[in-house]
Structure 1
């Protein structure tokens, strides 16, 4: 208790001499600068929030997505491009292609050991004609003489059909000769 009295007396004697006013604006900043200059202390300042870095990262990601999307967009096929140039070409191509496909299936079904070489040769020739046709398609897309190229494309299809028909006729002849030879053999 004796200590409490001492403290009370000290406060009574100091009454009115206390500084009760608030410090001026920037007092803390000035104090910290003086403190760092005296002691050689490096002051850590709080980082200001910068939106530049996250914004640049987001923009980079968006750019990568845009480039990726442009690489994976479907470019129109040659058939679609031909249909844009001339819808009749597309219809004609569909008709001939389905007709040729049916004849090729029929040809493959008629393949026997006696006709295998003939069928294989016909398929090889058809493959060469298909490659030639692809070149004609490309020439048409590149802006060549469209009437001349379209005529060549139709001729290519007709050649394939004629080839298939000729091979089928030869296969029929081979079958007929085989049946004829078998009938003439006596036991």
Structure 2
């Protein structure tokens, strides 16, 4: 019994010196590798490499470079370049665009089952004309003959306005024809 008391006293005395922390991950694997190295045993297993960290660092560097280049090489938009070439374009574009937008809203409000096909086709044609206008802007920026291109841009706007006026007139005719037919068929 005396020995048990001595052991218990020893544990009580050394209680503060005990290590209660858990070992790190892969502790057993590292221990076996060190044991094998000390005995001269060569392991056939290859050590797994963790590529996630170097790849994430490389991706971060690339992202920072791209953002830096984009920040320092800020190219003006096509609209800004067109304004530099011909400042009058913005005034006329604003005038025509507001007029066209007004008529497009009126066209959308006039859409009924009888006129739906006509309205949808008109909106499609307007989108094509808008695409043509953007191509003209690009040609102007690329250094084409500015007088001819500016004239073509104005003609594009006028074509859109004429198209909208004609379609709105056709819709009005359809509505009048429908009301005339409805009046004739009532008993």
- Counterpart residue number, 1:69: 68
- Counterpart residue number, 1:101: 101
Listed one character per residue, the Cα deviations across residues 37-66 of structure 1 (whole Å, up to 9, x for unaligned) are: xxxxxxxxxxxxxxxxxxxxxxxxxxx967
How is 1:36-75 mapped onto 2 (pairs within 5 angstroms)? 68-72=67-71, 74-75=74-75
- Counterpart residue number, 2:48: none
C-alpha distance in structure 2 between counterparts of 1:91 and 1:131, whole Å: 20
- After superposition, the Cα gap between the structure-2 partners of 1:69 and 1:118, relative to the gap in structure 1 and judged at 3 Å, is same
Deviates more, 1:126-135 or 1:142-151: 126-135
Partner secondary structure for residue 113 of structure 1: coil
Higher relative contact order (CA 8 A, sep 6+): 2
Listed one character per residue, the Cα deviations across residues 147-181 of structure 1 (whole Å, up to 9, x for unaligned) are: 00000000000000000000000000000001111
C-alpha distance in structure 2 between counterparts of 1:70 and 1:156, whole Å: 37
- Counterpart residue number, 2:88: 88
- Counterpart residue number, 2:185: 185
C-alpha distance in structure 2 between counterparts of 1:124 and 1:143, whole Å: 29
- Counterpart residue number, 2:122: 122
C-alpha distance in structure 1 between counterparts of 2:81 and 2:104, whole Å: 27
Normalised by the length of structure 1, the TM-score is 0.63
C-alpha distance in structure 1 between counterparts of 2:186 and 2:123, whole Å: 38
Q: Aligned pair count?
A: 127
C-alpha distance in structure 2 between counterparts of 1:134 and 1:67, whole Å: 28
Q: Which runs of 5+ in 1 are unaligned?
A: 1-63
Q: Which runs of 5+ in 2 are unaligned?
A: 1-62
Stretches of 4+ moved more than 6 A in 1? none
Normalised by the length of structure 2, the TM-score is 0.63
- After superposition, the Cα gap between the structure-2 partners of 1:180 and 1:67, relative to the gap in structure 1 and judged at 3 Å, is closer
